[in-house]
Every structure is written in C-alpha cells, then in structure tokens.
Amino acid sequence: MSTAAAAGTWRLGDLEVNRVGYGAMRLTGNGMRGNSDGRPIDRGAAVRILHSAFERGVNHIDTAAFYFSPLRSANEIVNRALASWRDDVVVVTKVGPGRDPSGQWLAMARPDRLRGQVEENLRQLGRDHLDVVNLRVNDLGTSVAEHFGALAELREAGLVRHLGLSNVRPEHLAEAREIAPVVCVQNAYGLDRRRSDESGLVDLCRELGIAFVPYFALSGLRREAAAAPERDARVHTVARAHGATPAQIRLAWTLHRGPHVLAIPGTANPAHLAENIAAGALRLAEEELALLDEPDAAGA
C-alpha cells in the first residue's frame, strides 16, 4: 500500500508533514459556488475517508470554517475524524473571507474581525490553538499589512502557532515577512494554471524555505468543480508509460516542481484517495517533465 511518506516531507515551521496531504473542501458534498447535486456526503463515509487518509500517512489537512454546504461542515467532519489522531495531524485553516449562514459570500473581514474568525475555527475544530492559519487575500491589489498584523497578534497570544498566505503575489509575501514569519503560501496552481511560475513565486518560496501549497492542481481552470475528463494527449502519454491515471500524473508533475511543494488533493471517493496518495511515489523522467512543460501542453 502506497503511503503519503513516499513523496518525502517538508516543515511548516516546526511541524513536519508528508508532502501529500488532503484538502477538506469536498467533504461538504459540493463545491463552493453552489453547484451541489443535492446529495450531501454521508458523515460516516466522510470520517472514514479521513481515517483512511491518516492510515496511509496523510498528516496535513487543509480546511476552513467557510467550507460548508447546507448540511455539512468540513471543520465539523475533520474534528470528528481527529478524535483519535489529534496529535498526529497538522490542520491548516484560513481566514479573511466569510459566508453567511445561507452560504452567501461576505466582504473581506476587517482586521479587527479576524479574531472572531480564528475563534470560530477553534470552536469547530475543537482545539485550543490552530496549527497554521492562512490569510486568504481577495483583492490582489491591496496591502496585507493590517490583516497579517492582526494575525501576528493572535500568534503572539497563543491562539495560532504559525501563519501563512493564500492567493497572493510576491509583494504580499515580502510585506507579510516584515511582520511575522510565513511558513506556507497557498495559491491556485497546476499544469494548466501557472501564474505563480510567471510571477516567480514558486521559486521564491523555495529560496526562502517556505512551503508552496497548490490548490486546484487537478481541476485547473474548473476551480471548485470536479476535474473534467483528461484532454491533454501528453498527459495520457506519460500516464500510459507509468501505468497511472492522468490525475496522478498531474499531481506528480506538481510535486516535481520542488521539495517545498505540497499537494492537498481532496476527494470523497476512496479509490481516488488511494490514487492521489500513490501519485507521491511516481518519479517522472526529465524528458517526461519537458514534454509536460511545453507551453501548449494545456488542451492539446
């Protein structure tokens, strides 16, 4: 049985994690844009998925209080699943945006409201402190100083152990690091979505020893929606050579971007979970990486 340790480890501050983790958004039974099919995921099945992930070495979970659907909360499911694993799994959450009880998105929280968001995550996750909190940025043209400064105060108060950023540019990272240490940057990134390459952010994080954590690595431009059937002929070519699925090749390509790159694919399907974890053991040849890195690889 493949385990999440096959891809190696990285440190989020003083917390060592396996590079293949798990994103909890899909545990709510739908995406974040209201595209529910009306069939909420069974709580017991969701907990079993997480237990299976933990048993396979996954010790890094990405979640948020705003990951919820009409009948499910990702944080509540994570809390229940961690009952016997609490000291073995690093939980990363995020604050900044919010949703009202009906699911409608709210404006970015003011800096003085971030404590309330942190406390809500603490309540839902049943914890006295949060391992890592990412400041999720909505407007890329604004400063993060006030918001990140507010989180730094909560870190000093002991509510948060480490801080990170989400959906940012290099200038945001530089600004935040003037205030407090940054242990991770979480941006949309994948074979078809490489803005963080264009900005130099992936390489910058490596130089600084900061984890780069892609989201939408499999769904690409479809964002919260499930990944579409693979249409890139080169991905199929590499997949056949390894006896792997196209999704595994996409994850393997992401992990090959550097030892500081972590993967957080999410799924409610046990077979897909096993495949995602097994992708960490794939080793792509230089010529395969060159093939996948060609500029027109997407949509070929």
Per the domain annotation, does 42 fall within a domain?
Answer: yes
Is 67 annotated in the active site?
Answer: yes
What confidence score (pLDDT) does residue 30 get? 56
Residue written as token pair 């600084």: 208
Nearest to 139 by CA among 109, 114, 159: 109
- What are the pLDDT digits (tens) for 33-52? 444 444 668 999 999 999 99
What confidence score (pLDDT) does residue 37 get? 46
Domain that holds residue 59: 4-292
Per the domain annotation, does 271 fall within a domain?
Answer: yes
In the chain the first and final C-alpha atoms are separated, in Å, by 33
> Region 6-24: what's the mean pLDDT?
97
Residue 125 scores a pLDDT above 50: yes
Query: Which amino acid, 98?
Result: G
Annotate 227-262 with three-state secondary structure. Answer: CCCCCCHHHHHHHHHHCCCHHHHHHHHHHCCCCCEC
- What are the pLDDT digits (tens) for 211-234? 999 998 785 444 444 556 788 899
Of the residues 22, 67, 189, 215, which is catalytic? 67
- What are the pLDDT digits (tens) for 55-104? 999 999 999 999 998 889 999 999 999 998 988 999 999 999 999 988 89
Per the domain annotation, does 299 fall within a domain?
Answer: no
**CB under 8 Å to 145, separation ≥6 — which residues?**
175, 176, 178, 179
Per the domain annotation, does 300 fall within a domain?
Answer: no
Residue 138 scores a pLDDT above 80: yes
What confidence score (pLDDT) does residue 29 get? 75
The CATH number linked to 80 is: 3.20.20.100
Per the domain annotation, does 188 fall within a domain?
Answer: yes
Nearest to 205 by CA among 156, 158, 257, 144: 257
Total number of domains constituting the chain = 1
pTM of the model: 0.92
